[in-house]
Structure 1
Amino acid sequence: MEFTKMFLINLGMLIAVAYLANVTFKYVLSRASAGVKYISSMLLVVFCGWICSVFGFSMNGQVVFELTFVPLIIASLVYPRASSLVIIGVATGLALFIFGVNEASVAGFVNLSILGMLAAGLNYWMRKTDYRLIIKASVSILVINLVHELNLAIFGVISFYHYLTKVVPFTLPLGIALSYLTAFILRDFQLEQRRKYQIVQANRRLSKQKEQLQKAKQALEERAQQLMRASQYKSEFMATMSHELRTPLNSVINLAQMIAEQGKEMDEEDLKQYSSIIYASGQDLLQLINDILDLSKVEAGKMEITKDDISVEELLQIMFMQFEMAARNKKLEFKLQFGEGAPQQLYSDSQRVQQILRNLLSNAFKFTHSGSVTLEARSERLEEPGREGEWLVLSVIDTGIGVSKGKQHSIFEAFQQADGSISRKYGGTGLGLSISRDLAHLLGGFIRLESVEGSGSVFSLFLPLEEAAEKDEDRS
């Protein structure tokens, strides 16, 4: 009868501790880290074992029969690391010395240390096998209960025969029954905690997915805006293009018709003037068509690049001769500057380099009303990631209207100009800088812009010198 009372008391204490653990984890440790929760749960198991020893059954003031091994059984079913069970077994055994150091506490320590190692082995076996949980739990409960009774029979202070015949018939079936009952209670608690943890993890994943969806939505909205802007720019381009094509084409048609109808009546001076206008209009049309074709070739990847040795000084002189008349007509000073240390030779495509410089110089003269335009050559070493090494820098410096900070990126996009009124006031389609940028990339270089609105601009074409150096080494 005393054994039955002792087991019922232990059962009540374990249920009470399980309830307190549930409350503690729910309200105190809900926001704690996983590591803190794990260590707290181990301490809780040790505390349960200690509670069982406090309310154990004493015989002759020496021997204590308790259920300290039951929490260890539960731990073997729920813990993911076998080493934790060895620690729990040894810690629970050490807790028995709180009542004093005697034969019973030493026997209890040895028993729980052995059971801790046994529980670790069973835990490892359960994680490696595919049996149902009820089978694993039954094996763990039966093995630990049997080894527990055997340990106490061997290491306890009661004789082996007396313990097996008088004590085990009561303690073993009640211990197994209580182990199953406690396992069910604590296992249910553990499953509830796991469900809560899974819900928390699922909420975190949903939050991350929500953030990712918001970012994706934002990216799609930005892309949609870019597509809308591109569509708008192309619409504006088509409107501008129709004007740019009609103006010279109408001049050609009208003047050609006048010459055809009244050519015999016109004097030689009028014929020359009309012929000059027809020629200039034809050149404008040809330049416009060439720009469109060049842009199409670059975008389609069909632009051919043919590299050869280029004299940098001769390149500057060619550009000077081509724009000297434009400088005189606008009464602007046109200067060439050959910087100290600038290379004499460049290995690149002369035709494409000249095309880029023509576009840059044409814009410089178009948007400069007073002052000067300068074409400068110099060398510069860059240490930027992906652009390390020596570069030839061909800069077009003007004192014109400049470009505002907010427009300095967009003017390099096709069909765009710094302002919608630019095309109406100065003419042009806004393709020159876009073509120049793409050609610079094909040549292995890039274009930089430095400008202050109202104070002029500096367009710098960077071309790599490494290829020329490698070519010289190959020749030598």
Structure 2
Amino acid sequence: MGLGNSFLMNLAMLVTVAYLANVLYKYWFLKTPRRINYVLSVLLMIFSGWICMRFGFKLSDNVIFDLRFVPLLIATAVYSQPLTLVVIGFGIGLVRFTFGVTEAALAGFLNLTILGIVCAGINIWMQRSNFRFVIKGAIAILIVNAVNTINIAVFGVIPFRKYMLEIMPVVLPLGIVLSIVFAMMLRDFQLDRRRSIELKHANELLQSQTEELQKAKLALEERAQQLALASRYKSEFLANMSHELRTPLNSIINLAQMISENYPEKDSGSADYGRIICRSGQELLQIINDILDLSKVEAGRLEIVQEEVNVKELPQLLYLQFEQTARQKGVGFDISTASDLPATIISDPQRIGQILRNLLSNAFKFTDKGNVRMEIYKVQANARGRGEYIAFAVKDTGIGIPPDKHKVIFEPFHQGDGSISRKYGGTGLGLPISRHLACLLGGWIDMESQEGEGSTFILYLPRSPHVQASGLPPAAEDKAMFAGRGISG
């Protein structure tokens, strides 16, 4: 077997040892203590050097040429303790004596011991240097091969001239090339193993996160079921209690009306008290009705009755209801209708009246001077709907609403701010319920308002129930708004 073939055999054996080391690491080293693994890895490096000698090129009975320095070279890049490299170099040199105690074996022992010390110095330099790993590895390969050549020339048993002229020109380039090849193979092998380990850790992390998400999902589902059940119980309780409260409250209102109407003029104080009780009872009844509607909204039991609604009669009924209010507050009030309005539309007259009364009540409540005006006209479809709609615009010259409060006022129990509730009263339920009712009727409510410049609320309703606001299924948006809120004090 020639010198080149022997070196290739050395390379093949080193690759085999590296593969076996990976198998041992995967199935055994991971289960053993770290200190034992460290000792076993050092012994594996020394064994690799012995394998190279075992399959090396025998120039004579005592002289062996091989790549025993390559495991030491690889150890230089692997270990962080320089002393470990001295131990590996000494160990590889020591196993040279297993092939016989000769002058050549002594020279080999001395060569590997010196190489171990040199590699320890290279290891220290590599840890402190800022060069790329490839550059540091190339420098280390060149230094180790050069020192190995010098040691053999100085301490070897082959005549210096013969070694330098006949053997070194072949051994040195071959050793450098094969060292680089093995280092590249081992580097690629190491990177592949690192990727496998990282992928394994990523899979473990992903599995752990998936399990945590599954647990969180189950907890959320259980919590959602509990909230839904609690919301249903609460809504049913409020609906029942509202009905129970309305019966005695209606009796109180009727008795208060009788007191205010039947007391003689000389006892006007008692009549005033009766009127106060009647008015307060009616306000309380309105609050109870709002709460009842809200509870029906949350319970999904608010029913819509579709029938013909006379558009021409609505302005008259609303004007009669709010004419006295406008006169008492000293503000103007008028209702105008477009000439092209249809005679009737298909909708729920009770719910339309409820929405418009809420809008007009708010307009009068927050308007101290100026006027309140309602305009009824026909509009064509826009981006939110298709078909033909009837618009009911309620305009006032009241206190107005700041832009940052435009969304808040449509939430239950919210008004512009706390001072409005204290000054003007109210529960903040009128607009949220009106908005929900508008959605159930297939329409929507828009608003325009500036603080100090009044407000305009526009109710859009389709002419027939099959026309519905695009992207706004009945109560979809409001169900999301009401869900989980409930009624709080």
TM-score by length of 1: 0.47
- TM-score w.r.t. structure 2 length? 0.46
